[in-house]
């Protein structure tokens, strides 16, 4: 499972190989309420087929009409805005005051699409600099920041994973978690010194990192774009890695296990390693949103849902369990 960026660019490559003209659109700014954030992309084929999205559909409809009229896939990049006034906002399905700015660029040889795809497929982060007057593109290694920038002359975007997820443990749950996290734009790293778990581990969406988990965490130097999750159920592996992660700037630190085992873990880390209550308060355990998840794929979904909430500054309250019969009587199940 690839992230949206890769899916759209691969589709553009395939369309171009089949002989179609294609335009690529990137959201550069939004004002007020907007359906998609800056950086979101859409590709429009000359016959109106679309990959990706920049709105709930109304803006795409307008782009399709322009593509069929031959107004997108030739010439040089152009900056367009939707929803400048109330009438236009209503026409394009934007909430009151919403405005979306796009850069639309014809895909051509100077777009350097194949080179960008090659670097992204290798897991690299890329800084892409588009010259608006010509459509020429420069590809450079991404720096420590990934801000989108539009000036009168250039559009600078960043592509590839800007978030990291280190998973301690290569069990069945991890095998579901890796492709889902990769689809959300994470660079996924897996550490497990147990050969019986790493032998034959499918590494298509993750990179296996050798060594003991606590050493790996220290070498990784987690920053505010890093999450660390311990999933082995083995205190000898999980606890020391968590201790290193909890004193780092990692934005999320979580561990699998029941509430009883989490309480025991906190007691161990406090009594034997002198960890403070403030550091331990950062530990998400049991890991993931409390939504009744039981199977490995369900738990993976709950973990990524909580990661997403934390990334965007939301705290999801404890859910209220509803008896199955009450759900049926409320008409929520048919």
Return phi, psi of residue 129, to 5°: -115, 110
Overall average pLDDT of the 84-110 stretch: 73
pTM, to two decimals = 0.72
Q: Give residue 232's pLDDT band: very low, low, confident or very high (50, 70, 90).
A: very high
261's enclosing H/E stretch is helix 259-273
Q: Where are the domains of the chain?
A: 4-159, 163-311
Q: What pLDDT is stored for residue 108 in this prediction?
A: 94
Contact 183, 3 (CB under 8 A): yes
CA-CA distance, 81 to 239, in Å (whole number)? 51
Q: Give residue 33's pLDDT band: very low, low, confident or very high (50, 70, 90).
A: low
Contact 93, 58 (CB under 8 A): yes
What 8-state DSSP symbol labels residue 111? G
If we measure between CA atoms, which residue out of 167, 186, 276, 277 comes closest to residue 228? 167
pLDDT at 49 over 50: yes
CA-CA distance, 102 to 77, in Å (whole number)? 10
Give the pLDDT confidence of 262-279 residue by residue, as tens digits: 999 999 999 888 889 999
Q: What pLDDT is stored for residue 90 in this prediction?
A: 58
Give the pLDDT confidence of 116-158 residue by residue, as tens digits: 999 988 878 899 999 999 999 999 988 766 678 999 999 999 8
CATH number of 163-311: 3.40.50.720
Q: Say how many C-beta atoms besides its own lie within 10 A of residue 131's C-beta.
A: 15
Coil, helix or strand for 188? strand
Q: What pLDDT is stored for residue 283 in this prediction?
A: 94
């Amino acid at each position: 499972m690839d992230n949206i960026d890769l899916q759209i660019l691969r589709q553009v490559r395939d369309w171009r190989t089949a002989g179609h003209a294609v335009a690529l659109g990137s959201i550069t700014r939004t004002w007020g309420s907007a359906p998609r954030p800056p950086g979101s992309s859409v590709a429009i084929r000359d016959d109106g087929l679309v990959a990706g999205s920049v709105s709930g559909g109304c803006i795409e409809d307008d782009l399709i009409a322009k593509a069929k009229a031959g107004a997108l896939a030739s010439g040089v990049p152009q900056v367009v805005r939707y929803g400048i006034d109330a009438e236009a906002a209503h026409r394009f399905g934007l909430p009151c005051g919403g405005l979306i700015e796009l850069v639309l660029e014809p895909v051509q040889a100077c777009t350097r699409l194949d080179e960008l795809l090659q670097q992204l497929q290798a897991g690299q982060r890329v800084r892409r600099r588009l010259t608006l007057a010509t459509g020429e593109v420069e590809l450079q290694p991404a720096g420590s920041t990934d801000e989108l920038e539009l000036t009168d002359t250039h559009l600078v975007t960043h592509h590839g994973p800007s978030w990291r997820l280190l998973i301690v443990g290569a069990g069945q749950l991890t095998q579901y978690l890796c492709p889902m996290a990769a689809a959300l734009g994470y660079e996924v790293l897996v550490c497990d010194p147990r050969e019986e778990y790493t032998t034959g581990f499918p590494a298509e969406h993750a990179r296996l990192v050798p060594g003991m988990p606590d050493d790996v965490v220290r070498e990784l130097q987690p920053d505010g774009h890093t999450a660390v999750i311990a999933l082995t159920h083995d205190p000898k592996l999980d606890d020391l890695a968590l201790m290193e992660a909890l004193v780092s700037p990692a934005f999320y630190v979580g561990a699998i296990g029941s509430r009883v085992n989490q309480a025991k873990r906190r007691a161990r880390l406090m009594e034997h390693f002198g960890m403070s209550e403030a550091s331990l308060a950062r530990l998400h355990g049991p890991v993931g949103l409390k939504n009744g998840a039981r199977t490995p794929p369900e738990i993976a979904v709950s973990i990524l849902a909580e990661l997403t909430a934390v990334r965007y500054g939301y705290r999801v309250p404890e859910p209220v369990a509803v008896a199955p019969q009450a759900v049926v009587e409320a008409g929520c199940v048919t």
